[in-house]
A and B are shown apart, each in its own frame.
Chain A
Amino acid sequence: MKSLQQDTLENWLRQFNLLNDETASIEKITRLDLSAKGISTLPEEIGLLTNLVSLNLSNNKLTDLPSSMKSLKSLTNLDMRRNLFETLPSVIGELSLRALNLGGNKLTDVSVLKNNNDLRVLDLSANLLTCADKCLAEDSELRSLNLSFNLIKDIKNLALRLSNLERINLNGNLLEAIPSEIGSMQSLEVIEASDNEIAYIDEKFFDLELESIDLSSNSLTHIKLYKLENLELLTLDENPLSKIEFNDDFAPYLKEFSCDSCQLEEFFLPPSKNLHLLCYSSNHLKNVPEQIGEYVHLSELDIDKNFIIDIPDSLANLLDLNTLYVEGNLLSEEAKKIISILDPEICDIKMKSGITIEKAQKSDLPDMAHLLSILFRIESDFEINYNKQLSGITTLFNAENTDLLVAKHEGSVIGMVTMQRLISSAEGDFIGQIEDLVVKDEYRKMGVGSRLINKIRYIAQEYEYKRIQLAADINNDNALRFYSKRGFRRTNLTIHHF
């Protein structure tokens, strides 16, 4: 027989449609999503959910939690981000949590957490913390810690407690240095510390086995890089750097190195010949070193917005280079010739500017009908017939609940996509059927297709379509890859014509 407390809790859950009559047994509840329900207090009876493993309380108006929550012995995952907590309820310290999200509150003190020895993942981002060391046990087992967008000025004591930590996010704080105590964080693999005021990095930092470092938007004017033998990714964007020094032993497996928008006058090459991406965009570079040709694995090189005139012949050795950004330099004709020989798949100086995405006009219809021929040449189910295509696209143009977009360059239609409204009995509402996405050959690899599909999805959202769908030829690998990269999921349905 149910107790009065059980009835109270069940009724409270029913108001959020979280308990239907068939499964109306609070003992069976292991996961509960109470996010964004406008809740300002939880009922004391919540402690009856003794089998609860995961509780989502995010995006509410909570300032406190009932003490009965200490009975939630199975609870390991608690999401309390974006509430109104100014102090952390003491009951949190009595739970055996493994993952806790407290991001986006107004917390200034989280010392309650020092009792949570089982915590592995902790998110304290976007609070008002000036230090976080008091919140962690001396021998913390934490693996991932997010302290981004707080008011933390130093991490000396914090670092000493985090020997097991693998990932830390310190973006958007007030750090001025990476201190020697960082050497205690022996398990650290990923550090994000952008948007601070870091001007000094202790040498202990370079002994760590880090794989990824983001130090962008700091105050580094000079950096000497050595060791870091596991490092694969280093981002130093938006620092007032005038000099980078590389030791020969620095990051032998480095794959990505970025120094976007610094103040470098010299093109420094990291020792790792394994480099795939190199970015020196928006600096004051005048030359590209001849040795660039030795970086044969380079697939993306970004040196736009510098003062480069000449490019070494050795650049033509980079056969894997498929993306090159060089616009905004003072390139000589010889340099342009080398780039044209290299002929990377994506290159900003080959891209045409001024391509617009617009709603199709009646005068665009003949061009659109011609464009469909390109599509039907690839799709074996269709035959090219200009008159039928013009008739079809004109009917679509004149029909209600249809959208026809064109990409135009210098007044000519160079790409198109259409969408028509359908009713889905499965969704119980309107959906959008996307068709006829095509871009002229000479305008491919310029992002025109992406822009068309992004715009049509934006329109679908405006109409509140429950879903958008499209069909693609199973032999059109490019199209299948394109849609997959943009989040379209292949279904089990096939199309049958009669």
Chain B
Amino acid sequence: MASKQEILQMEICECGEKNVDQAIEIFQNSALPFKKAKKLVTGCSKSCCRAALLKLYDMNQFGHIDYDEIGYLINQRLERIKRLSEES
């Protein structure tokens, strides 16, 4: 299992080139609803990283971040991308 520091450094959004630590910082410095705060992280309107970002946003709203859960969601998406690219 990855450490908290390792998870903080994991890239959560390729489009915006942001890691978990940067995404937390952006969410903490914004009072916008998720759809708008997400665009601050991604810089785009795509939804590829939505699952992990939405979870992180909600965790930030409630003041407790489950780093293992975020790490799991990021890895899950990466595995899925890899599998889809292998199949195509």
Contact = CB atoms under 8 A, between A and B. Distances in A.
Instruction: Tell me, yes or no, whether A binds B.
Output: yes
Interface of A: 82, 104, 126, 128, 149, 151, 172, 194-195, 216-217, 237-238, 260-261, 279, 281-282, 325, 356-357, 446-448, 450-451, 453-458, 460-461, 468, 486-487
A22 to B, nearest CB: 32
20 contacts: A82-B72, A149-B51, A151-B87, A195-B50, A237-B35, A238-B45, A238-B46, A238-B47, A282-B45, A356-B29, A357-B29, A446-B31, A447-B31, A448-B31, A451-B31, A455-B28, A457-B63, A457-B64, A458-B24, A468-B63
A454 B47 contact: no
A487 B63 contact: yes
Interface in B1-53: 24, 27-32, 35-36, 39, 45-47, 50-51
B47 A486 contact: no
A468 B63 CA distance: 10
A16 B61 CA distance: 32
Contact of A458 (B32, B36, B65, B80): B65
A457 B65 CA distance: 10
Nearest to B64: A461
Contacts of B83: 128, 151
A450 B29 CA distance: 10
Contacts of A487: 62-63
Contacts of A195: 47, 50
Given A447-B30, A451-B29, 10 more contacts: A82-B72, A217-B47, A237-B45, A325-B36, A451-B31, A453-B63, A454-B27, A457-B62, A458-B65, A460-B63
B64 A450 contact: no
A29 to B, nearest CB: 28
Given A216-B47, A261-B45, A461 B63 contact: yes
A359 B69 CA distance: 28
Among A195, A460, A468, max chain B CB count under 10 A is at: A195
Nearest to B80: A149
Nearest to A262: B45
Contacts of B80: 149, 172
B4 to A, nearest CB: 10
A172 B84 CA distance: 12
B63 A454 contact: yes
A-B pairs, 5 with minimum CB distance: A447-B31, A457-B63, A261-B45, A217-B47, A450-B31
Given A104-B76, A447-B30, A450-B31, A458 B45 contact: no
Contacts of A356: 29
Nearest to A447: B31
B2 to A, nearest CB: 15
A369 B31 CA distance: 25
Contact of B35 (A151, A260, A453): A260
A481 B63 CA distance: 17
Contacts of B47: 194-195, 216-217, 238
A357 B60 CA distance: 15
B72 A486 contact: no
Interface string B60-84: 1111110000001000100010011
B74 to A, nearest CB: 13
Contact of A486 (B30, B50, B61): B61
Contacts of B76: 104, 126, 149
B68 to A, nearest CB: 9
Contact of B28 (A237, A458, A460): A458
A357 B63 contact: no
Nearest to B60: A454
A357 B28 contact: yes
A356 B60 CA distance: 17
Contacts of B28: 357, 451, 454-455, 458
Among B24, B60, B61, B63, max chain A CB count under 10 A is at: B63
